[in-house]
């Protein structure tokens, strides 16, 4: 078991992470897993990719965004921009070479935002992307006009949560930042190989979102894998096996 460590951001935020380095002499890119909204590195997909990386001698980085899991802070203060900053800081600290970013749901949006910044600084740093029910721009298409009006007026909204006992909150700061971070209506300047996995029985993120994303990406090496009976979580044994096989193939 790799112990959880803490990374201190300049403003004192304490970001919990787990990191396993590549085996000595292994030049393979480090996999960075980005969990979804209100999720953390203890989830089944994160644990599975971390275990596969350790078993194959590859590097892997997991983290909890501020306000989530074992990290400090309040979830109500979280935004995509804040969490992207944390992701990039951990990559800078732990991963000096190329990385593959894998993002689940909202993590798929963060994957794109972090990937754009990494690629802009050094095109060789971004070796691949893997989206699992990726949800870019969900602040735009994921809410009713009434909900958007509440958020725009500074009022949080709360929705039924099928995955836990507490309602799912969306806070105005997160929503405003998300609206400023939308990507799907223009070319996304990412050129690395991209693999997108999406369930067609996903009740939260329409599977057509992955097709829109594939079209918007500048890369010519984009593949979309649709699972007809797949739900949003894609955490069944067969789903996780597909995720691991997809990552393995990216490594060649």
Q: Does a structural domain hold residue 251? A: no
The predicted pLDDT at position 232 comes to: 97
Task: Specify burial of residue 41 (Cβ count, 10 A radius: 0-12, 13-18, 19+).
Answer: buried
Where b means 16+ CB within 10 Å and e means fewer, 147-181 reads ebebbeeeeebeeeeeeeeeeeebbbbbbebbeeb
pLDDT in tens, 10-59: 999 999 999 999 999 899 999 999 999 999 999 999 999 999 999 999 99
For 141, other C-beta atoms within 10 Å of its C-beta total 14
From 137, 202, 210, 239, active-site residue: 202
Do 226 and 198 meet the contact criterion of CB atoms below 8 Å apart?
A: yes
Query: Of these residues, 105, 177, 198, 239, which one is catalytic?
Result: 105
| Tally of domains within the chain | 1
152 is a catalytic site residue: no
Which residues lie closer than 8 Å to 36 by C-beta, 6 or more apart? 104, 105, 106, 107, 135
Q: Which CATH number does the domain housing residue 196 bear?
A: 3.40.50.1820
Split at pLDDT 50, 70, 90, the class of 1 is low
Please confirm, yes or no, whether 231 is among the known catalytic residues. Answer: no
User: Is position 246 within any domain?
Assistant: no
Q: Is residue 239 part of a domain?
A: no
Structural domain contains residue 175: yes
Segment 161-200, tens digit of pLDDT? 887 788 999 999 999 999 999 999 999 999 999 999 999 9
- Model pTM score: 0.97
Mean pLDDT of the chain: 96
Is the pLDDT at 215 greater than 70? The verdict is yes
202 is catalytic: yes
Could you tell me the two tokens for 184? 């799907």
């Amino acid at each position: 078991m790799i112990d959880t460590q803490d990374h201190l951001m300049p403003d004192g935020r304490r970001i919990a992470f787990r990191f396993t380095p590549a085996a000595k002499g292994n030049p393979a890119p480090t996999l960075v897993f980005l969990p979804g909204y209100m999720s953390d590195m203890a989830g089944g997909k994160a644990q599975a990719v971390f275990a596969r990386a350790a078993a194959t001698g590859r590097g892997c980085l997991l983290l909890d965004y501020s306000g989530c899991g074992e990290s400090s802070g309040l979830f109500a203060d979280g935004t995509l921009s804040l969490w992207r900053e944390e992701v990039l800081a951990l990559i800078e600290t732990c991963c000096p070479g190329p990385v593959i970013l894998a993002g689940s749901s909202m993590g798929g949006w963060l994957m794109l935002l972090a990937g754009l910044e990494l690629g802009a600084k050094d095109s060789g740093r971004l070796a691949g992307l893997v989206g699992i029910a990726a949800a870019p721009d969900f602040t735009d298409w994921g809410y009713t006009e009434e909900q958007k009006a509440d958020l725009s007026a500074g009022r949080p909204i709360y929705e039924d949560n099928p995955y836990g006992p507490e309602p799912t909150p969306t806070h105005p700061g997160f929503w405003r930042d998300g609206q400023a971070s939308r990507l799907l209506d223009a070319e996304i300047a990412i050129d690395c190989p991209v693999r997108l996995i999406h369930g067609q029985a996903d009740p939260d993120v329409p599977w057509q979102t992955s097709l829109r994303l594939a079209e918007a990406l500048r890369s010519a090496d984009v593949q979309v894998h649709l699972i007809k009976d797949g739900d949003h979580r894609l955490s069944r044994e067969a789903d996780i096996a597909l995720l691991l096989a997809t990552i393995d193939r990216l490594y060649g």
